[in-house]
């Protein structure tokens, strides 16, 4: 076998192993990918019940109701549509009506959302990028009230969102 042929075989084997590794990584990640949706997008796209997703918008004024134990019911709106959310657990300290929120969980029949994680906005000038983009698309964005999304945001240990540079 010539050197050229051996080199081609080695390159082909390495390429195959690399493609297999990438395929395995992508298939392992597919179960943990969660898509962000606003209430209007959920209504418009008729997303089937049982779908895991992130719901973002504003906590509707007057919708917060505390149930038995740590159960909390509230509604998330983008001023175009509203979805009822039920969450059991401790809410972030910054969670309140009229503020931006991102809830991760499962969409149930009847456009109810059962959240297992709730993230509240960090301060007056922060709103999650996806929520701000959804509000801008609908023409509901208020430049004076919220200054827009902070470029680098992540969840902190207390469950709130905020810019990394402030930590």
Determine the Cα–Cα distance for residues 112 and 148; give it in Å rounded to an integer: 28
The answer to the question of whether 87 is labelled as a binding residue is no
Question: Is residue 58 within 8 Å of 95, Cβ to Cβ?
Answer: no
Distance CA 15, CA 98 (A): 53
Three-state DSSP class for residue 105: strand
Q: How far is CA 114 from the centre of its chain?
A: 14
How far apart are alpha carbons 14 and 46 in whole angstroms? 44
The phi-psi region of residue 89 (left if phi > 0; otherwise alpha if psi is between -120 and 50; otherwise beta) is left
Provide the pairing of β-strand 161-163 with 153-155.
antiparallel
The answer for residues whose C-beta is within 8 angstroms of residue 82's C-beta and 6 or more apart is: 39, 60, 75, 76
Annotated binding site for heme: 122, 126
Annotated binding site: 122, 126
């Amino acid at each position: 076998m010539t050197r050229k042929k051996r080199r081609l075989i080695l390159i082909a084997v390495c390429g195959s192993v690399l493609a297999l590794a990438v395929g395995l990584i992508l298939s392992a990640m597919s179960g943990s990918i969660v898509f962000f949706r606003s209430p209007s997008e959920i209504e418009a796209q008729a997303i089937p019940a049982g779908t895991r997703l992130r719901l973002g918008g504003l906590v509707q004024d007057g919708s917060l109701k505390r149930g038995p134990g740590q159960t909390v019911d509230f509604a998330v709106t983008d001023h175009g549509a509203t979805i009822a959310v039920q969450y059991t657990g401790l809410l972030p300290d910054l969670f309140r009506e009229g503020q931006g929120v991102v809830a991760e969980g499962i969409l149930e029949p009847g456009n109810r959302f059962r959240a297992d994680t709730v993230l509240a906005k960090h301060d007056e000038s922060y709103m999650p990028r996806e929520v701000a983009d959804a509000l801008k698309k609908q023409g509901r964005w208020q430049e004076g009230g919220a200054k827009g999304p902070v470029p680098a945001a992540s969840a902190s240990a207390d469950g709130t969102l905020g810019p990394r540079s402030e930590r």
